[in-house]
Amino acid sequence: MSQNLPLSGRIAVITGASSGIGEAAARELAEQGAAVALLARRKERLDSLAADLRAAGGRALPLAVDATDRAAVAEAARTIAGELGAVDLVINNAGVMLPSGVEEHRVADFEQMIAVNLTGVMRIVDAFVDPLIAAAKRGGPSDLINISSIGAHGVFPTFAVYCATKAAVTHLSRNLRAELGPRHVRVSVIEPGFVNTELQSHMTDEAAKAWIESARRQITWLSAADVASTIAFTAGLPRHVNLQQVTIMPTQQV
Ligand SMILES: NC(=O)c1ccc[n+]([C@@H]2O[C@H](COP(=O)([O-])OP(=O)(O)OC[C@H]3O[C@@H](n4cnc5c(N)ncnc54)[C@H](OP(=O)(O)O)[C@@H]3O)[C@@H](O)[C@H]2O)c1
């Protein structure tokens, strides 16, 4: 792998790397020279992605981790430091979207969204904030990139809890930036509109599925690679430039 690529020497952690935006981000960051730690629950998907990246000359470390499990995330952070080196780029991407009307009382779905989309995001921040500050102290770039959603700003029937978790991720990111930016750690939040991934396939609410399918027919959605290239661009900027909040939309989505 060439030393002159935009992200050569960077050590990245990507959560939700087993599919969609996380997988595409892992491919893009590796192609641009970063070593990548791949976190998600589906081990076989991570192993196969790591094999692809290594075959192309990259460094990849697959780790089956539930992002909500504090001890497992902490253990992963130690393994990454030992096997890949000091982390300076974190893509906090794992998420679930399980819409339903609040009167249906699908409490387990609400709790799962809060656990993965919010608590999981904070587990990752907690595990990697020290290496990110250390990387910044060494004088190099250091990035925490959180994946939120246009849902952070939108109002959609049956998506209340999902949108609330994403509003929290956006606001969390801006507040963390106030804390970490003065120490040269860039905090960015990326808020995509519709992206073609597995995310929608886990939904069970019929009305929400019909709305999504109609949107899919009517407009051209983003691909995971579109979002991945935005992530890589954000991380590749000069150290003093922080793209703090990026809303990336399909052109036709209003
Ligand atoms: N697709 C869209 O339209 C869209 C729009 C805006 C924002 N987003 C956001 O983009 C992010 C990525 O979603 P995606 O669209 O790429 O969907 P996706 O293909 O379903 O990917 C979600 C990823 O999260 C992982 N994940 C779920 N629960 C986890 C847990 N407890 N621990 C660790 N990993 C977990 C999944 O892996 P495992 O199942 O293997 O654990 C998977 O890799 C999410 O935060 C989502 O909210 C998506």
Cα(139) to centroid(ligand 1), Å: 32
Residue 17, SS3? coil
Q: What is the pLDDT of residue 2?
A: 59
H/E segment holding residue 157: none
Ligand 1 binding site (Cβ under 6 Å of any ligand atom):
15-16, 18-22, 40-42, 66-68, 93-97, 116, 120, 147, 149, 192, 194-195, 197-199, 224
CATH fold of 11-247 reads Rossmann fold (3.40.50)
User: Measured from the CA of 169, which atom of ligand 1 is nearest?
Assistant: 45
- Asked if residue 247 lies in contact with residue 195, where contact means CB atoms within 8 angstroms, the answer is no
What are the structural domain ranges in the chain?
A: 11-247
- Asked if residue 148 lies in contact with residue 173, where contact means CB atoms within 8 angstroms, the answer is yes
The amino acid that residue 186 corresponds to is R
Active site residue 162: yes
Q: What is the pLDDT of residue 4?
A: 87
- Distance from C-alpha of 198 to C-alpha of 76, rounded to nearest angstrom: 25
Q: What is the pLDDT of residue 106?
A: 96
> Which alpha helices (DSSP H) does the chain contain, by range?
20-31, 43-55, 70-83, 107-113, 121-137, 160-180, 206-218, 224-236
Q: What is the pLDDT of residue 3?
A: 72
Q: What is the pLDDT of residue 61?
A: 98
Cα(197) to centroid(ligand 1), Å: 8
Q: What is the pLDDT of residue 148?
A: 98
* Percentage of residues of the chain with pLDDT beyond 70: 99
Cα(117) to centroid(ligand 1), Å: 9
Query: What are the percentages of helix, strand and coil residues in the chain, rounded to 5?
Result: 50, 15, 35
**Cα–chain center distance at 181:** 19
pLDDT along the chain (254 residues), means of 10: 86 98 98 98 98 98 98 98 98 98 96 98 98 98 98 95 98 98 98 96 91 94 98 98 98 96
